[in-house]
Amino acid sequence: MIGVTENLRIVSDLLHSAATEAGRDPAGVRLLAVSKKQPVEKIREMAACGQRDFGENFVQEGVAKIEALADLDLTWHFIGHLQSNKTRIVAEYFDWVHTIDKLKTARRLSQQRPDDLPPLNVCLQVNVDDEDSKSGASPAAVPELAAACAELPGLRLRGLMCLPAIRDDFEDQRRPFAQLRELRDRVRQAGVEMDTLSMGMTADYRAAIFEYATIVRIGTALFGARNGKAG
């Protein structure tokens, strides 16, 4: 045993308590285990404890793990920045992409999704609070982008994702997540269906759950620090 079993139990309990505290059904919060820079053995151990969803940020690393673990029934989420020359391999290997911020990327993924696979689940990454960040669509652009993505046959639009700057204070942490939730509601009111809010990481999962996250993306609390990162 490598030791992630206990971490998985602790994190699952934390998510469960946060949901209960927020007055939500804990079953409505899905844990996405962020396995970037973690070895295949740890993923295998976690899968043996029932964890199904894993997230990767780098295409080559993710594909190598998907191939190495092909004997397991896992769901793979691409959560890194997606360059347009890497869309084909992502469309062929992954089940979800959380980081769509341009129609061009969405169109390529839709065209390149193999016919024998179900549509690729996608979330639009929204730049909710950080004007300097290069990733994410601006909130104003999201309704139109969502409507266009919903029409693409190779994709299934699931929702919105954000990666806000880290804040220490709980109420400050909630603000960008609340913005994402309100944006989701606006898009829904315009008639575009979405069931997912992908938000919250190790440092701010609790605030995200209070703002109705349906997927929280947790790395450090499950696997420990990644290579090259202290603590």
Ligand X SMILES: *Cc1c(COP(=O)(O)O)cnc(C)c1O
The Cα–Cα gap between 11 and 202 comes to 9
Q: Which range, of 14-22, 113-121, 177-185, 197-205, touches ligand X by CB under 6 A?
A: 197-205
| Spatial separation of the C-alpha atoms in residues 217 and 214, rounded to whole Å | 10
Distance (Å, rounded) from C-alpha 58 to C-alpha 78?
8
State which residue, 79 or 192, has the beta carbon closest to ligand X. Answer: 79
By CB under 6 A, how many residues form the interface with ligand X? 12
Yes or no: say if 7 and 221 are a contact pair by the CB < 8 Å rule.
Answer: yes
Of 159 and 192, nearer to ligand X (C-beta) is 159
The piece of 83-91, 104-112, 177-185, 218-226 that touches ligand X (CB under 6 A) is 218-226
Contact residue for ligand X among 11, 34, 97, 109 (CB under 6 A) = 34
Q: How many CB atoms lie within 10 A of CB 26?
A: 15
> For the window 67-86, what string marks contact with ligand X as x by the rule CB under 6 A?
------------x-------
* Dist CA 43 CA 9 (whole Å): 14
Residue 219, interface with ligand X (CB under 6 A)?
A: yes
The closest residue (CB) to ligand X is: 219
Least CB distance to ligand X at residue 179 (A) = 17
Check residue 202 for interaction with ligand X (CB under 6 A): yes
Residue 216 beta carbon to ligand X: minimum distance, rounded to whole angstroms: 9
Report, in Å, the least distance between residue 125 CB and ligand X: 9
Give yes or no for residue 124 binding ligand X (CB under 6 A): no
Count helices and strands in the chain by DSSP H and E runs: 9, 8
Which residues neighbour 96 within 8 Å (Cβ) at sequence distance 6 or greater? 75, 76, 77, 78, 120, 121, 122, 123, 158
Find out whether 58 and 79 touch, Cβ atoms under 8 Å: no
Q: Which of residues 151-170 bind ligand X (CB under 6 A)?
A: 163
Instruction: List residues near ligand X by CB under 6 A.
Output: 34, 36, 57, 79, 163, 201-203, 217-220
